[in-house]
Amino acid sequence: MSNPPRLGVNIDHVATVRNARGGDVPDPVRAALLAEEAGADGITAHLREDRRHISDDDIERLMAALKVPLNFEMAATDEMQAIALKHQPHAVCIVPEKREERTTEGGLDVARDENRLAHFIAPLRDAGCRVSIFIAADRSQIEAANRIGAEVIELHTGAYCDAHSEGRFEDRDRELDALREMSTFAHSLGLEVHAGHGLTYETVGPVAAFPELMELNIGHFLIGEAIFRGLTPSIHEMQRLIKEART
């Protein structure tokens, strides 16, 4: 049995609930510390341009409180680069961002914006941040991510998860095959392979089974499941399924 992928817990939607009413509760930093105590290997937080969930103060407090690595998700803007360089989190994941979207809808188009992104990530790498690029399972995007100097790619699993939940099983299997093939391809280029978006107890196993996969980042489902069973048991069940997939 190979070592199972690390589990990063995204705490964005604890902040979504807090911001729906205003005030200080529920506190995403408290959720992050509970996840850390439950055995999460890292915490993911996406500071959006419109601050719809995670706030600047949340990032300040996460950096001060966490013992596990913080994966700072952000758009490729000057504002976010300055914030990342100020805090120098363990990892920075560059994601596409549109103000009108409910959640990140797809992967970053690295191939179309290669020169700008290469210059954008260079100072982050120089500051010691591990740079990850959130992309679709597409060969040209993986090759472009490699050319610009990214150390990590995170494969967008949303299309696979959507097809499963909608009962489109042929599409689901096709998406899973693409994810598996591109995981192998990215690894052959020397990139570290991560995956995330939309994963649930039902969909995580086939992705966690990819031998090249080093990390899964899961948030919305775990926060939702925590309403019913608590955050710690929800994380433990996800870890069990991830480990089982590598048996």
Residues involved in catalysis: 46, 73, 197
DSSP-H helix ranges across 6-98: 12-21, 28-37, 56-65, 78-87
| Cβ neighbours of residue 203 closer than 8 Å, sequence gap 6 or more | 157, 160, 161, 164
Task: Provide the Cα torsion 78, 80, 84, 87; round to 10°.
Answer: 110
User: Contact, 237 vs 201, CB < 8 A?
Assistant: yes
**Residue written as token pair 């509970």:** 34
Dist. CA 102–CA 156, nearest whole Å: 16
Structure tokens that stand for 30 in this block: 């408290």
The answer to whether 46 and 244 are in contact (CB under 8 A) is no
Give the separation between CA 59 and CA 217, rounded to whole angstroms. 18
